[in-house]
Amino acid sequence: MYNEKLTVNERFDAMEAMLNGNTGVQDKLAADSYGKAFWNHMHSGEITNELKVGSDGSGRYIIPSTYEEELVKKLKCENFMRKIGTVVTTEHDMRLPVSLTEAEGGWVDEGGEISFMDAKFGQVKLGAHKLEVAFLITDELLEDSGVDLEKYAMEVFSEVIGENEEEAFLVGDGNGKPMGMIHQAEVGITTEKVGEITMDDMVDLVHSLKAPYRANGVFVMSEDAYIKLRKIKFFDGRPAWQPSLVEGEPERLFGYDVYVSDYMPTVDGGNKPVLFGDFKYYWIGDRGKRRFKRLSERFADHGLVGFVATQRMDGTLVLPEAVKSLVVKSE
């Protein structure tokens, strides 16, 4: 049983600690009987003994393991940051040691030793911010055997969670949500012209990044920047842009993949509408299991049932020099 004085986050942490290494509990969450009991509860509100293993004591239940796997796959499709970033599962706050000084090398005489400079190290924290998504559905639809609640919930939750994640990972201010890359990446270049962006600027941005990071470089840009760059042509009239030749694959610029986000800033003075770098250095930490909650009573007078999905996660750029931003020149 959980202490009623604990906060929701404290209950989540206590439950994750219980699950960690407990293969018996994990097997029960993966069992067909738990999955059936879980979705029966979401449909009817009935609580059976099989559900107890997934309860956090506040009306939320861990989603079945097979459904969680499908949801994670769907999130990767909805939010490209989960494709190009590094996703880890955390059970508690994670502190990642990072070097604040560059490595140095030099030639050493036979029998000699390399001298070590005074190395400085810092820490980057991956915590847990809570993201919730809710939707309402009528009693009539729930009672309709033809309604696939699992599929509908998957579509709603993956889309809305994906949108919120993408926004936070790119431009989040770190206040109750992850810190976005736009605030952490180092400035690579400032455009030559006021309020404009050119291919020369893009070339300079690419080469503002150290060669090792360029090897895995990708562009992330706003719709506005994308449209402007798509219109630029070489001197012989050929478009500088490389459209994708494979459906579902990103377009390319200078041989690097391009991802477009509605959440990146426009091409206006002082804004950062383009990022370029190795996004594997943006770490996304998923804290434990995702949970669903059925709100049977709150909307009963209106003939509605509410559903809430909860996940906890964080994101941070562990090495700011691995990604560079383009700043649009102001007057």
Taken in order of first residue, the domains within the chain and their CATH numbers are: 8-89+126-177+283-315 (3.30.2400), 181-282+319-329 (3.30.2320.10)
Listed range (26-30, 202-206, 275-279) with the worst mean pLDDT: 26-30
DSSP 245: S
Q: Answer whether residue 108 shows pLDDT above 90.
A: no
Roughly what angle, to the nearest 10 degrees, separates helices 23-30 and 8-19?
Answer: 100
More confident residue, 9 or 218: 218
pLDDT of residue 327: 97
Task: Please indicate whether residue 25 or residue 173 has the higher confidence score (pLDDT).
Answer: 173
CB-CB contact of 277 with 185 (8 Å): yes
DSSP state of 182: H
Confidence of residue 214 (pLDDT cuts 50, 70, 90): very high
Cβ(294)–Cβ(60) below 8 Å? no
What are the strands, taking DSSP E only, across the chain? 60-62, 86-90, 94-99, 121-126, 129-138, 186-194, 218-222, 251-253, 256-261, 274-277, 282-295, 304-317, 323-329
Residue 262: partners with Cβ closer than 8 Å, 6 or more residues away? 222, 223
Report the candidate in 133, 153, 144, 134 with the shortest Cα–Cα distance to residue 44: 144
Compute the distance between CA of residue 253 and CA of residue 220 in angstroms, rounded to an integer.
Answer: 11
Q: How far is CA 4 from the centre of its chain?
A: 31
Higher-scoring residue by pLDDT: 221, 230: 221
Q: How buried is 329 (Cβ within 10 angstroms: 0-12 exposed, 13-18 middle, 19+ buried)?
A: middle
The two tokens of residue 275 are 């990022």
> Average pLDDT of 230-236?
81
247-281 as b/e, with b when 16 or more CB fall inside 10 Å?
Answer: eeebbbbbebbbbbbebbbebeeebbbbbbbbbbb
pLDDT at 120: 57
So what's the pLDDT on residue 213?
95
**Percent of the chain residues past pLDDT 70, beyond the cut:** 85
